[in-house]
Each structure stands twice: as structure tokens, then as C-alpha cells.
Chain A
């Protein structure tokens, strides 16, 4: 322990405590901007680049960044001296002097850390005038939008991408005033090995990194009388959307969400969860086949498009191990434009499928050439939770006052197993519920597999006993963890029967398209709890018992894992270059 004095308050802190942390202990908030501590996923951005948290330390020649300076014995810190305040204000003014001040029409208006900081510090005038940096904007991926004009060089994206996701897309390039964070050779994002997980977007304090928005396109489709626009919602939306309307994190808003979509003009409001149940039956079938010796083990889940792109770039030699199942929302699209279209006698080319997703990578996924049937895309548009909330607000819908409504039939029916797709460990748990019963022929009484749950460990392992078989299960969330796991599998250091990987730390509940958590991971934890609550509330908790799924196979799809199912519900993978 070391003794420090902050603004005349004496306290003891453990060695290694930063001034920022120490100040927080005595309820002194030092403003920060670049700093971000997501210690749950072991990401700390300690670049000390914004210089907003500068404080005075007795005996030190210059000011010290509170976020990156550790306390030492006898340290005397002053956080609010004239000198510190002047420097702090100057730093914010300097940042603003090189920032487009188009807050009114900015994507992040109301959600911008820089904007909030300027407001908190009461900045009313930017004293410095001069050149502003301008760079090429990049929306080439159709998923992630880069506007480097708004980059404040906090480097959070870089830390996230390099250290947590280990993709290394970004680094600071150029020198001096021209310095900016960019991909190698300033390539368009579509030509990089970016997986579009969107975690950089999640941590970007400004609108330098956002998603490519399809709100306008969706409105256009909704207003087109020739189109039959249907919506599907991913499981993670219903536990996060409420945050956008001031509800407590973790509030389940499934009914209001459905009602909102109807009021926006969607002809049918369906649930991606239905397709998740389909995914489970297809994947469980594939898993059992592989267990029987047809194909390689482990089987890897393939619901996460970001993770799929990751393995294509990083482990092209392992492309035979992921399940060939499409991701649930892509299955949904294929089903909607075939089974649903036939059943309701709607020409498939008139159907517009809009996926409401917690995800940015899914915007990229729908553009992949393999997701088309006869020139018709499986899914037409992906909007994020945030974009969906914007549409609700734009349409003047008072979300919190909406009644609870039910999904439409038949693609709105789902089970508890499909809900937990939204969280790390959920897909594999859902698969186990089905695989257990199919392998043993017995009813699974205890459906919850707690060994694969939780946010804390990036890599989880569990052994599940099914009859006389001991199945080794691996779960990774966050691409860095996935990389470690895959390296071990490639090098034969570990063996698993089945593995679930989700690109985003925590899974889809913390996806790149979710409401901004601003560094507060308690919000993500609340979403996780809500997902499991939704599972518990479901009368049916196993995918293969979903009556609508059973009906679809009977009426249209034929055998699980059969020829038609393979054509519509499965896909293949392409090795991709590393740059």
C-alpha cells in the first residue's frame, strides 16, 4: 500500500493504482477522454494521448496524465489547480479546433464522449482556429464507416483491434498534424482482413467509426407498395433496445419491440430465434454425424459472420471444421423467400427481409455472393439496434408506452434455446440440449449447462457427459481468445468435440451494433442476465421441440440435414488473404 494525498484528502491505495483510480476512491472525478478500462475483457487503453486528465503532482516539472500515472509513496496530487484546469480546457479546445463541429447532424450527437466532455467543462468558445484535418471517408465494406476527420487519436480502436481482437487492422499513420489512425496502406476496409466485428465502433468516443446506415433504404422499402417488407430480430436486441429509451439495462422489451416494428410498417414481424432453432437442429444433426466419424472434429459453430471471416483470413487450413450451417438470420432469409413465400403466395422478389441485429458484421455478411438464391439475396438489409432505435424515434413512437405484442406466425415461434444464442456459451448450450436428447433418446431434465456460461473467462472449457460419452466443449468469445484456441487446435495441443466462438467479447449482447455502453460493462452483464431470464420464461426450451420448425420440415424442407436443407440452409467457406 502507498500513501497519497489528493486535493488534501489522504488515502492509502494498493501499489500500481493509477491517480485516476485513486481519485475515484475518494469520489473525485477527473475528466478523461482517451482512457478506457474494460477490465472484464482485459482491455485497458492507456495511451495517455488526449492529455485531458492532466493533474499537478508536487515536485514534478510538468503535468501528469492521471490515467497512466501510478501512485507512489508520499505523492501529493492536485486535480483542480488553475494550471491543471487551464491545460485540460486547452486540450479540449485544441481537439475541438481540429474537429468538425457538425454535432447537430452527427451520427453520434448525444452519444459522443467529446461532446459530453466539452459540455461538462463548459466550453463555450473554441479559441483556436486553423486548419482542420480532412481525410477520405470509407464505407467500402457496406458495414463499417470510417470518418477519420472525427478521429481524436485516442487509439481505443487500435487497442481493441490489436490487443483484444488481434486483427491489427488499425495503426497510427503519418506524422504531426496529419497523424491519423488508418488501416495499412490506407486500404479501403473491404480490402483488409477486418472482420467487421464492430468492437472498434463500440469503443470509439466520437463518430470516427460508425456503421454504414441502411435506415434510409429501409424507409424506402417500407414506403414502396410493391414490396412486402418483413423484419426479423436477433435475440440480443430485446434485452438492449430499452436502453435507448431510458429503460434500465437488462429490461426485456420483446413485446414492445414487436409492436414498434409493426408500427414502422413491417408487414410481418418475425424472430431470428425461429431460425436459430433451425440452426440447432441442422447443426446438432451435423455434429452427431461427425461424432459418428463422418467429418472432422471438433465442430465449430458458424453463427457469427465476423468469426467466419476471421477463420477464413487467419486459419485457412482449418476451413473444414466449422459447421456448414448458415448463420440463423441468413437461414431465416432463405426460409422467408422460399417456404414462407410459397406458403403465403408472395413472389420472393417482392419480399424484402430486414434483419435487426446487434451486429455490424452481418451488414457485410449479406453481401457475400453465396447468400443468394436465383439472384435473390437471402437478406436485403441489416440495421443495428441503434439504427432501429433511431427509426422508432423518427417515427414518433413512444416506445415505453407501447403495448406488448406477439411475433407473427409461423416464423415468430421460438424456444428458450434460441434466445440464448445472444450470449457467449449460448449456441453450444442450445446445441447440447438437442444433441443430448438425440444421442441418448432420453429427455433432458436439467437443460442448463452452467459450465459454458459467463463473461469473465474469455476461454471456457466444459466436459459434458452424454450416456457413456464425455464430450469436451470449448467456448471462446473475443477474437483474441478464438485465435489462441484455434492455434492450439491447429497445433494439436488441445482437443474438443465442439467449440463455440463469438467474435464479440460477451457475445452478441455486446455486439458492435448495440447501444453504446461507454465503458460500463455492468450494462452488458445486465443484458446477459436478461437473456437467461427470457430463456427461463419460455415454455419450450429445446430447439427440436419448436412446433413451427417441426411443421416447416414436414411441409417443406424434408429431412433435417437433407438435400433441400443443404441447399437452403448450409454454406461453404473461402480461404482469404492476409495482408
Chain B
């Protein structure tokens, strides 16, 4: 019996968290009951990216994209769609403005401007089946490289493509490969950096979960190019599903002879081992990662020498991140020119971003370099949640900067983001609205950097801590004008003096918010107020006499009894004793309590 229909269920960690595994079971059960298992297949794919609306179920070839599928609707999809060919309308994505149902994935605004290269197979193939990867031209790039190209030609192709490291630094990948190739040594290594640690970022995880072979293939091509026979994938233990799928992928590739000795009958041999990290953020820094693989403490060492010269076990080592490797096979197959035709002058191709924060469509998007922040946030992201006002977008993970509204139309690439005091990083993108206090945001990110600092160098270990203490002082209303000067000076010095990338960038959130939102700092320091109403210590609660009906509810909940007034008369808060717990604010049903 030929297969006539497939139901692709998103198996990314996000959708699994909203129970997509159960959805998959229910679909299978229903199909079994209808005795259609021979004609209709249910399979789990990698991440579709549209996490906001997960779990996703896509029906092919009908090309119907179901969102927010739960057990109940899964049963209905079997009953109506699979058996009777009737689309289950209520599970079709509804465009919030026009209220139009959009059944096709490509017509949903979230996907409209996306170009999927690194994510090309995510949501399309079964990541646990190597045949499906091969069927989508998988390992063809490796085959071409091994049979038709010299290592130099491979490096040249990657150089011409303009591919830059997707892990943060944006160093040209071809140059990195070339440097490692030129280092003389009998043994060299390839390392895939899958230690994705930015809060909220999951680009690399999605690729590993959705298309692990693309990474293996990219690594093998790199191995051929630089002359390495062995590769490590350094992945954090917090990514169990990615590790599981990688393990399957590696064993399938070995079975097929696509990893191991004499790949495809050539004299090129390459194998890969997974190294599981404990999830320290700093291990994403390449020298720290190498120390960690070697069994040492995960902390960076001084560069130069670069890993390309002295890397793992003191051998020349090429380290790229997951997304970078995933881009390599398409570059080889479609040509450097195809790749470099996408993007901006100095940043080619696409970039995967993890869109998060106060935006309607949270999820993973792959967009061409040069797209504007506005397009990502408003067209793909569907604008700000609850119709609030956009305030800033923070890119590049905890050490990126906050970009204000006036720069929303900047076409983004490595260089424009740097110029704005932020960075590409690994592709985190967190949107903030009018309810976010930028001083508090800076504090939040700095706290992360403080916690994740390896503690090796003075600048980062003590400098960041002192900055954090100043920020605490400011958000508690104890800040003075000289604290602001001190904060800025310290931030600049830490940036200038730290040993590794973490310390050199950790002050970015502070510096960029001080640059673009200085008025908020001033409000905290001079007026002792938090304009966004976030910093508890600075809040002042008032009762608006016109709105107060004297219901006494606020007085009753006040734990310190500082709200006075007779029933049915306007109440007053005695701010002397107020502990700013906000209980009255939450209790008042008449909107009569305000805080500033």
C-alpha cells in the first residue's frame, strides 16, 4: 500500500514541552483505529520554529499547518482531516489583524520573510532517519568534496561564500579553516561548539534536534578541508534530546560508512565523538571549551596562540558552532555565489534568531542578513504583545546591547549590530516593551555574566561584581550621580581589560542602556523613581481620589496597615510606612491605585 499522507509532528524541545509526544501518540492511535496505518504515516520532525503556537502538526501533501494541537484536536484531525479530508478550521493559524485563517505554512507572516538554509530540513525530515537526510541531498556535498575538490578548493569555496562564524564572533569561516590547514601537524581536530548558553537561545539545539546529519556532514567537510580525521561535538548535558538524536545520527552515519574509515571509498577517514559538557556558559568560549574537553577547568586561556595553531591536546584545531557547520553543505552544493547572493556586503547568508520576550510570535526564525529589526519584530514576530509600546530589543545574548526604537530600521548584520554597541552573538533576540525598566534589564544581564564568569581575571571577576553592586544601589534608590560615572568608567575598563570574550562584552548591556536610555538612569538616581514601575524599592503607591469608592478592600489587605479611610470615603496611603508590596494595587477593583 503506497503512502499517501504524512503528519509531521514537531519534536523540538519546545513543542515536546507542550506535549507534542502525546499528540503524536494520539494521532497514531487514531490512524491505527481507522486502519489507515499503511497509507498514512505520523512522524516526528525537528523544530518548526513557531514555538509560540506549538505543538505544530503539518499535514502533507495537503500542506495544512495546524497550530496549538492538543490531544483533543489531534483526535479531531484524524477524524475529520485524515479520514474525511475536512480541514479542522479552528486549529488553522488565524492572522490576528485580519482574522483570516491561513492554512499554508508559507502564507503565515511568521514564515514569509524567512529563508531556511541552516534550518532547511527542520520540520521536514525525520531526524532519526538518515535515509530522509540523504533523500534531501544529504551527504551529497561531502561526496562532491571528496571526489571532485581539493581541500584548498573547499576552503576557497567557503571563503568566497562569505560565511562567518555563527557562534558569536563572526570570524570568517574560510579564513579559520585556512589557518588550521596551514598549521603543520600530524594530527588535527575539528570541534563543533554546541555549548549554546545564551538565555532563551535555542538555534543550535533546534538544528541538532531537527537535522543532526547536516552538522556531521559540515564537520566532515571541514575535516577534509583542514586535514583532520577526528571531531568532537561539545554539547551541554541540558540538551538530552539533541544528544539522543546526535547519537542516533552518528551511529547511522557510521553504519552507512559516511563516518569512519575510507568514507565513500575514498582515502578520507573521519569520525566524531560527543563530549557532554556540564553547561557552564563560559565553555562556549573556544579555549575554555578545549580545556573542558581535556578534562581541565572550563576557563579561557590567553589568545594568541589561537586554537588554529595550538588547540585541543596542543594540536591545531578548528572550532565552529553548530549553525556554521549546518550552512556548509548547501554552500558546497549550491555554490559560494548562491550563498553570497543572500545577505549584505560583509555578512552573507542567513542567520537564525531566537525571538523572545514581549513579542507576539515567540520562536525561531531564519532570515537573510540585512533584514531590519522592524521586519523581524513586527512582520515575523507579529508586533508587541498586548499592543504595548516597543522600547528596545536586546541582541546577542547576555553580553549584547539594547537597541532602541530609533534604530529599528537598521539592516542587521555583524557590523551594524557592533556599531550599535550590541552584537550578533549566537542569535538571541529579546524584545522589551514600555513595561521594562532598562536599568533593571542591564542588571539582569550583568547578573548572568557575574554568575557565569569563570573568575579567572580580575576585570571580570571583581569588575562585573562591582558594576552589579552599583546597579543594585541605583535600582534601590540609593544611587548618586558619581555612581553613574563610576559605572560607566568601570564598564569601559572591564570591556578593555578582560581576558576573554565574556568579560570583554559583559558590560555591553550596561553601556548600551546608558547610551540609549540615560534618562531612565537619571530618573532612578535623581528623582528616585523607576519610570517603568519595575524597581520595587522606588515605587510609590497613590490612591486616585476620583476613582476610590471607599470599599476598604485595600486597607484590609495592607499587611502593614498604612492605608486609612472610612468606608465609602476616599482612602489614603501613608507612604512613610509603606513597604511597597503591591498588595493594594493588585486588590483594587476600581483601578484607583496607581504606582509610579
A residues engaging B (CB < 8 A)?
A: 46-52, 54, 62-63, 65, 68-70, 83, 86-87, 90-91, 94-95, 97-98, 127-131, 152-153, 155, 171-172, 174-180
Query: B79 at the A/B interface (Cβ < 8 Å)?
Result: no
* Stretch from B460-468, B549-557, B583-591 at the A interface: B460-468
Query: B496 at the A/B interface (Cβ < 8 Å)?
Result: yes
Known A87-B493, A130-B466, A176-B451; judge A51-B457 contact (CB<8 A): yes
Distance (Å) between the CB of B350 and the closest chain A CB?
Answer: 27
Distance (Å) between the CB of B303 and the closest chain A CB?
Answer: 10
Which B residues between 283 and 333 are near A, CB-CB below 8 angstroms? 297, 299, 302, 304
Distance (Å) between the CB of B271 and the closest chain A CB?
Answer: 31
Across the interface, which residues of A come within 8 angstroms of B499, CB to CB? 48-49, 51, 65
Which one of B299, B458, B462 lies within 8 Å of A172 (CB-CB)? B299
List 9 A–B pairs whose Cβ atoms lie within 8 Å, in order of A's numbering: A49-B458, A51-B459, A86-B489, A86-B493, A129-B469, A153-B461, A171-B297, A172-B299, A177-B465
Distance (Å) between the CB of B65 and the closest chain A CB?
Answer: 43
Which one of B304, B462, B493, B496 lies within 8 Å of A97 (CB-CB)? B462
Distance (Å) between the CB of B418 and the closest chain A CB?
Answer: 11
Interface string of B438-470 (1 = CB under 8 A from A): 000000000000111111111101111110010
Is the beta-carbon distance between B496 and A63 smaller than 8 angstroms? yes
Across the interface, which residues of A come within 8 angstroms of B454, CB to CB? 172, 175, 179
CA distance A86 to B486 in the complex (A): 13
Across the interface, which residues of A come within 8 angstroms of B455, CB to CB? 153, 172, 174-180
CA distance A48 to B454 in the complex (A): 14
Is the beta-carbon distance between B497 and A177 smaller than 8 angstroms? no
Across the interface, which residues of A come within 8 angstroms of B486, CB to CB? 127-128
Distance (Å) between the CB of B493 and the closest chain A CB?
Answer: 5
Question: For B297, B304, B458, which residue has the most chain A Cβ atoms within 10 angstroms?
Answer: B458
Taking residues whose C-beta sits less than 8 angstroms from the other chain, chain B's interface range is: 20 to 34
Which one of B302, B462, B490, B504 lies within 8 Å of A65 (CB-CB)? B302
For A72, the closest partner residue in chain B by CB is B304
Q: Which 9 A-B pairs have the closest CB atoms?
A: A179-B455, A94-B462, A130-B469, A177-B465, A68-B302, A176-B453, A128-B466, A87-B497, A90-B493
Which one of B280, B464, B497 lies within 8 Å of A62 (CB-CB)? B497
Query: B498 at the A/B interface (Cβ < 8 Å)?
Result: yes
Across the interface, which residues of B come within 8 angstroms of A172, CB to CB? 297, 299, 454-456
Query: B181 at the A/B interface (Cβ < 8 Å)?
Result: no
For B449, the closest partner residue in chain A by CB is A176
Distance (Å) between the CB of A156 and the closest chain B CB?
Answer: 13
Is the beta-carbon distance between A95 and B458 smaller than 8 angstroms? yes
Distance (Å) between the CB of B233 and the closest chain A CB?
Answer: 24
Distance (Å) between the CB of B160 and the closest chain A CB?
Answer: 26
Question: For B282, B463, B465, which residue has the most chain A Cβ atoms within 10 angstroms?
Answer: B465
Question: For B462, B463, B496, which residue has the most chain A Cβ atoms within 10 angstroms?
Answer: B462
Across the interface, which residues of A come within 8 angstroms of B495, CB to CB? 62
Distance (Å) between the CB of B503 and the closest chain A CB?
Answer: 9
Across the interface, which residues of B come within 8 angstroms of A175, CB to CB? 280, 282, 451-455
Which one of B302, B452, B466, B504 lies within 8 Å of A176 (CB-CB)? B452
B residues engaging A (CB < 8 A)?
A: 280, 282, 297, 299, 302, 304, 450-459, 461-466, 469, 486, 489-490, 493, 495-499, 504
Across the interface, which residues of B come within 8 angstroms of A69, CB to CB? 302, 304
Distance (Å) between the CB of A499 and the closest chain B CB?
Answer: 31
Across the interface, which residues of A come within 8 angstroms of B493, CB to CB? 86-87, 90
Question: For A83, A127, A153, A175, which residue has the most chain B Cβ atoms within 10 angstroms?
Answer: A175
Which one of A129, A153, A155, A171 lies within 8 Å of B458 (CB-CB)? A153
CA distance A175 to B460 in the complex (A): 11
Distance (Å) between the CB of B453 and the closest chain A CB?
Answer: 4
Is the beta-carbon distance between A94 and B456 smaller than 8 angstroms? no
Distance (Å) between the CB of A68 and the closest chain B CB?
Answer: 4
Known: A94-B466, A128-B462. 20 other contacts (CB 8 A): A49-B499, A50-B457, A54-B497, A70-B304, A91-B458, A91-B459, A95-B462, A97-B462, A128-B490, A131-B465, A153-B455, A153-B461, A172-B297, A172-B455, A175-B452, A175-B453, A176-B464, A177-B462, A178-B455, A179-B456
Across the interface, which residues of B come within 8 angstroms of A128, CB to CB? 462, 466, 486, 490
Distance (Å) between the CB of A94 and the closest chain B CB?
Answer: 4
CA distance A49 to B458 in the complex (A): 6
Across the interface, which residues of B come within 8 angstroms of A179, CB to CB? 453-456, 461
Across the interface, which residues of A come within 8 angstroms of B461, CB to CB? 153, 176-177, 179
Distance (Å) between the CB of A55 and the closest chain B CB?
Answer: 11
Across the interface, which residues of A come within 8 angstroms of B304, CB to CB? 69-70
Distance (Å) between the CB of B112 and the closest chain A CB?
Answer: 38
CA distance A171 to B296 in the complex (A): 9
Distance (Å) between the CB of B485 and the closest chain A CB?
Answer: 10
CA distance A28 to B7 in the complex (A): 73
Is the beta-carbon distance between B297 and A51 smaller than 8 angstroms? no
Distance (Å) between the CB of A123 and the closest chain B CB?
Answer: 14
Question: For A62, A94, A155, A176, which residue has the most chain B Cβ atoms within 10 angstroms?
Answer: A176
Is the beta-carbon distance between A98 and B462 smaller than 8 angstroms? yes
Is the beta-carbon distance between A177 and B458 smaller than 8 angstroms? no
For B450, the closest partner residue in chain A by CB is A176
For A56, the closest partner residue in chain B by CB is B496
Across the interface, which residues of B come within 8 angstroms of A95, CB to CB? 458, 462
For A174, the closest partner residue in chain B by CB is B455
CA distance A25 to B466 in the complex (A): 37
Is the beta-carbon distance between B466 and A83 smaller than 8 angstroms? no
Across the interface, which residues of B come within 8 angstroms of A94, CB to CB? 458-459, 462-463, 466
For B456, the closest partner residue in chain A by CB is A49
CA distance A177 to B499 in the complex (A): 15
CA distance A172 to B456 in the complex (A): 8
CA distance A49 to B297 in the complex (A): 15
For A64, the closest partner residue in chain B by CB is B302
Is the beta-carbon distance between A90 and B457 smaller than 8 angstroms? no
CA distance A180 to B489 in the complex (A): 26
Known A94-B463, A172-B297; judge A131-B456 contact (CB<8 A): no
CA distance A97 to B490 in the complex (A): 13
Across the interface, which residues of B come within 8 angstroms of A180, CB to CB? 455
Distance (Å) between the CB of B135 and the closest chain A CB?
Answer: 45
Across the interface, which residues of A come within 8 angstroms of B456, CB to CB? 47, 49, 153, 155, 172, 179
Known A175-B451, A176-B450, A177-B455; judge A51-B466 contact (CB<8 A): no
CA distance A70 to B450 in the complex (A): 30
CA distance A103 to B56 in the complex (A): 65
Distance (Å) between the CB of A108 and the closest chain B CB?
Answer: 19
CA distance A178 to B462 in the complex (A): 10
CA distance A326 to B280 in the complex (A): 49
Is the beta-carbon distance between B466 and A97 smaller than 8 angstroms? yes
Across the interface, which residues of A come within 8 angstroms of B452, CB to CB? 175-176
For B499, the closest partner residue in chain A by CB is A48
Distance (Å) between the CB of B295 and the closest chain A CB?
Answer: 11
Is the beta-carbon distance between B496 and A83 smaller than 8 angstroms? yes
Question: For A63, A70, A155, which residue has the most chain B Cβ atoms within 10 angstroms?
Answer: A63
For A46, the closest partner residue in chain B by CB is B302
CA distance A180 to B464 in the complex (A): 16
CA distance A97 to B304 in the complex (A): 30
CA distance A219 to B132 in the complex (A): 83
Question: For A52, A95, A153, A171, which residue has the most chain B Cβ atoms within 10 angstroms?
Answer: A153
Which one of A48, A50, A98, A174 lies within 8 Å of B302 (CB-CB)? A48
Across the interface, which residues of B come within 8 angstroms of A127, CB to CB? 486
For B469, the closest partner residue in chain A by CB is A130
Is the beta-carbon distance between A51 and B450 smaller than 8 angstroms? no
Across the interface, which residues of B come within 8 angstroms of A86, CB to CB? 489, 493
Across the interface, which residues of B come within 8 angstroms of A47, CB to CB? 456
For A130, the closest partner residue in chain B by CB is B469
Is the beta-carbon distance between A176 and B465 smaller than 8 angstroms? yes
CA distance A530 to B463 in the complex (A): 47
Distance (Å) between the CB of A174 and the closest chain B CB?
Answer: 7
CA distance A83 to B496 in the complex (A): 9
Which one of B464, B465, B498 lies within 8 Å of A51 (CB-CB)? B498
Known A86-B493, A91-B497, A177-B450; judge A50-B458 contact (CB<8 A): yes
